[in-house]
């Protein structure tokens, strides 16, 4: 028996239901799901196709946080997929200035970030070359973790240096931020607030409204 197994990698991720329904209605037996991590093969499968799909349907500013080694390898693809700002980790890139220049060469904004165990001093040489510095307040890798309180001091430390240098860059915070602790990270000096589990899930519109009202109060 011959079996058709369409690769979902080429589906429209904005309306995946439409494509899956088309397979089911067509009595297609299999769905082929590719998993790649950028090491064994050069691609990282679903990320780029998802960005491309949703780029067609929204004007959201795409703030892309790369948690991959040697991010320079992927800047072209992320830029062409529709990223507006590309943030990479100092810990993951040997040639930080080169990667900044590469992102700029595609006309995109640049973000640089550090994990909880990395000192703010690692960001300092690049602060006048980037648009945003991101302080991770959890170990990157998963949503839904608790904010590490010591990392809030790093936001404060960074904000002081940024102000002393007279720079106007954004300071982003990512990891464990919710409506109850957001004031702490705002007071410390961050102005771009990432929130995953505190926004999506039950009553996403209500949570979005609460955050938006709070941030713009």
Figure out which of the listed residues 63, 93, 172, 174 binds Zn ion, where binding follows CB under 5 A: 174
Is 25 considered catalytic here?
no
Q: Which of 217, 183, 63 is nearest to 209 (CA)?
A: 217
Interatomic CA distance for residues 197 and 144, integer angstroms = 5
**Least distance (Å) from Zn ion to the CB of residue 28?**
35
Active site residue 163: no
Binding part of the chain for ligand DX5, among 16-24, 68-76, 86-94, 141-149 by CB under 6 A, reads 141-149
Strand (E) positions, 20-150?
Answer: 63-65, 85-89, 109-114, 132-136
Per-residue binding string, ligand DX5, 33-72, x by CB under 6 A, is --------------------------------x-------
Q: By CB under 6 A, what part of segment 167-186 binds ligand DX5?
A: 174-177
- Interacting residue with ligand DX5 among 98, 119, 125, 144 (CB under 6 A): 144
Nearer to ligand DX5, 107 or 141 (CB): 141
Residues in 195-214 at the binding interface with ligand DX5, rule: CB under 6 A: 195-198
CB atoms within 10 A of CB 15: 13
- Are the C-beta atoms of residues 178 and 195 closer than 8 Å to each other? yes
Give the separation between CA 43 and CA 204, rounded to whole angstroms: 32
Sheet holding 170-174, edge to edge: 63-65, 85-89, 109-114, 132-136, 170-174, 192-193
Which lies closer to Zn ion via its Cβ, residue 65 or residue 109? 65
Tell me the residue number closest to ligand DX5, measured at CB: 196
Q: What are phi and psi of 79, to 5 degrees?
A: -60, -45
> Which residues here bind ligand DX5, judged by CB under 6 A?
65, 138, 140-145, 174-177, 194-198
């Amino acid at each position: 028996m011959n079996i058709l197994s369409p690769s979902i990698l080429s589906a429209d991720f904005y309306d995946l239901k439409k494509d899956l329904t088309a397979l089911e209605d067509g009595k297609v037996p299999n769905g082929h799901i590719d998993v790649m991590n950028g090491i064994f093969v050069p691609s990282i499968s679903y990320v780029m196709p998802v960005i491309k799909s949703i780029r067609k349907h929204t004007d959201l500013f795409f703030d892309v946080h790369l948690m991959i080694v040697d991010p320079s390898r992927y800047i072209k693809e992320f830029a062409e997929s529709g990223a507006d700002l590309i943030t990479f980790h100092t810990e993951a890139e040997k040639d930080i200035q080169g990667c900044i220049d590469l992102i700029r060469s595609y006309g995109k904004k640049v973000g640089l970030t550090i994990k909880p165990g990395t000192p703010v001093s690692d960001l300092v040489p690049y602060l006048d070359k980037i648009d945003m510095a991101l302080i991770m307040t959890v170990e990157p890798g998963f949503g839904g973790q608790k904010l590490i309180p010591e990392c809030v001091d790093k936001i404060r430390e960074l904000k002081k240096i940024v102000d002393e240098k007279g720079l106007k860059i954004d300071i982003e915070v990512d990891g464990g931020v919710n409506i109850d602790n957001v004031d702490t990270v705002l007071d410390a000096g961050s102005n771009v607030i990432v929130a995953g589990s505190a926004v999506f899930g039950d009553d996403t519109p209500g949570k979005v409204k609460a955050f938006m009202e709070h941030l713009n109060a």
